[in-house]
Structure 1
Amino acid sequence: MTGCVSGRAAAREQIEALESACERIAQPVLGQHLVWRRVGSGPPLVLLHGGHGSWLHWARVIPALSASFTLWMPDMPGYGDSTLTPTQGLDELVAQLRQGLDALLGARTPILLGGFSFGGLVSAQLAAQCDHVQRLVLIGPAGHGGPRRQTVTPLPWRDLDPDADPVGWASRMRHNLLAQMLHSETAVDALALEIQWRGCLNTRFRSKPFSRSAALAPALSRYPGEVLTIWGEHDVTAVPRDKADGVAPQGALRRQRVVGGAGHWLMHERPAATALLMRQGLAAA
């Protein structure tokens, strides 16, 4: 029990340190707030987290990416600290995010865009609508409509209380992370547990119907720029080896890369490799 408590305290300290390095922006949108974190210097790079997540999905790649880019990381509508919550589905979420993004950075300001999991689908939808997205990087994007490889069923988590039963809490959260997000046992550290727990608690938008759809390809077909898609070798949400490089109808490259030995949440499990690939995919902008 002592190890669980001390590990969680250390994870909280890591998150607090990351928070202190970022500027927190509570942006008024439609009478609510869309909360962003900004850090770094260079071209603006907007990073969209996955379902049951928050800006903290990017925690382990923030130091590397912020050295080259100004990172703009929202808690998307329906997630995290943002009080803005869509009630009409994905189109409304994308519209709310676009409204906030345009007001914050300017509707014509060139941006780079990165999305993880459900955030990858949202990124593709945004890029299809905006002509100022210069490059797009997707990490394990949802909405591909293809087969999944998940064989382990996640366990219920809403009954958990990390303060009353830290060992039981850690065991259940570990199980769920290995079922869906991470491949290696060693990747399930205290920081991963805390980020996943906070993300689950603060999720109000149900992304699953959209994540399991085939909406990604139609959105990407409307985006004229280059796209780099990065998969973990053991990502249970897809079959990465079935993906291949291609060319969009407009002639832009559509590249695929697979990171060995990793699961879905690449930024946490292989942060150095993920950050390097992201920089390479965005470098031409």
Structure 2
Amino acid sequence: MHIDKSAIAFEAALLDEALVHHTPCGDGHMVWHQWGEGPPLIVLHGGSGSWRHWALNIRFLAQYYTLYVGDLPGLGDSADPPIPFSVDDFPGSVDHLAEITCVGIERLLPLGSSFKILGFSFGSITGGYVAARMQDRTEHLALVGPASLGLPWGGLKGHRKSPKYAKNETELKEFHRHNLHLVMFGDSANIDDLALHLQIQCVTRARLRSHRISGTDTLLQALNRLEMPFSALWGAEDIYSLPNIESRSVLMRKIRPGADCRIIDGAGHWVMYEAADEFNATILEQLGGTELDKADKAVS
């Protein structure tokens, strides 16, 4: 399939800048990419994804944090989890992924050190279970596009197209573009060659299927157990939270009074890609990175 060479070069440059770590996962490893310097930030991608979900955010956030961006078990370059992911027990299955992720964090970070978690979509759910397992070390949980809150949603406005049925390269590209518009983007005009390339790289590596989790209360179960601060951020056109995103904010603040919940106009589920600049500035505020910046300037 023909892809703009600049998209391939962008991905390759990010990989060249990263340190790669391997931690235990079943018969293989969970793969982590590390960028930046500063306090540790554990970063978890969404369903059918990989570290590439954060491609437009890595260099910005790496100015403030040491990013440990994990490929979740069964996704990206990580091995499958030893216990198969089951749609009949989402909380148990997600907690198993969280357990593997926690083992990785224990290997990557100094003993007893604290950290923050940034999770997108399925990664926000897994991040919630990681935070529940590591309450004493998690300073903040930042949720991006969180669903699975036990609230109704309107469903997809169409059907995904399976790339395996594409008859040629042109049709394959259109299938991926269709799926990105259906699930990830608020405005199809924002789907560029890089987004298509990243989508293809993610989907072709994905083995774990988690789509049905959105309509459950799996994340809610974890949030009700948390003691640390958490925040939430959605794109206003996030299909998994429509027709009423504000109800999500209300629920978050009911669980954690004063929780910082924000919505970025015009963006869909993949808000950190579609509205990267606004997302980067907003998530930095939610994580407290602006205070880090002020402290650095004061010292200098």
Distance 1:153 1:209 in 2: 14
Q: How does 1:222-241 map to 2 (within 5 A)?
A: 222-239=225-242, 240-241=245-246
Specify the alignment match of 2:8 in structure 1.
12
Q: Is the 8 A contact 2:29 2:78 kept in 1?
A: yes
Q: Secondary structure at the match of 1:120?
A: helix
Q: Secondary structure at the match of 1:243?
A: helix
Amino acid at match of 2:248: K
Q: Secondary structure at the match of 2:249?
A: coil
Q: Is the 8 A contact 2:140 2:228 kept in 1?
A: yes
Q: Is the 8 A contact 2:22 2:29 kept in 1?
A: yes
Q: Which runs of 5+ in 1 are unaligned?
A: none
Q: TM-score w.r.t. structure 2 length?
A: 0.86
Q: How does 1:1-285 map to 2 (within 5 A)?
A: 5-7=2-4, 9-85=5-81, 86-88=83-85, 89-106=93-110, 108-130=112-134, 131-149=136-154, 150-160=156-166, 165-239=168-242, 240-244=245-249, 247=253, 253-283=258-288
Distance 1:274 1:15 in 2: 20
Amino acid at match of 1:136: L
Q: Is the 8 A contact 1:224 1:252 kept in 2?
A: no
- The structural deviation recorded for 1:212 is 2.8
Distance 2:114 2:107 in 1: 14
- The structural deviation recorded for 1:198 is 1.5
Distance 2:70 2:221 in 1: 25
Distance 1:196 1:20 in 2: 20
Distance 1:217 1:254 in 2: 14
- The structural deviation recorded for 1:29 is 4.0
- The structural deviation recorded for 1:97 is 1.1
Distance 2:51 2:236 in 1: 24
- The structural deviation recorded for 1:13 is 1.2
Q: Secondary structure at the match of 2:209?
A: coil
Q: Which runs of 5+ in 2 are unaligned?
A: 86-92, 293-300
> CA separation of 1:52/1:6 partners in 2, compared to 1, >3 Å: closer, same or farther?
closer
Aligned-residue sequence identity (percent) comes to 30
> CA separation of 1:235/1:201 partners in 2, compared to 1, >3 Å: closer, same or farther?
same
CA-based RMSD of the aligned residues comes to 2.0
Q: Secondary structure at the match of 1:254?
A: coil
Q: TM-score w.r.t. structure 1 length?
A: 0.90
Q: Is the 8 A contact 1:11 1:190 kept in 2?
A: yes
Q: Is the 8 A contact 2:94 2:129 kept in 1?
A: no
> CA separation of 1:33/1:235 partners in 2, compared to 1, >3 Å: closer, same or farther?
same
Q: Secondary structure at the match of 2:208?
A: coil
- The structural deviation recorded for 1:215 is 1.4
Amino acid at match of 1:140: G
Aligned residues: 277
Q: Is the 8 A contact 1:135 1:281 kept in 2?
A: no
> CA separation of 1:273/1:113 partners in 2, compared to 1, >3 Å: closer, same or farther?
same
Distance 2:211 2:127 in 1: 16
Moved more, 61-70 or 79-88: 79-88
- The structural deviation recorded for 1:210 is 3.0
Q: Secondary structure at the match of 1:253?
A: coil
Q: Secondary structure at the match of 2:43?
A: strand
Distance 1:281 1:96 in 2: 27
Amino acid at match of 2:261: Q
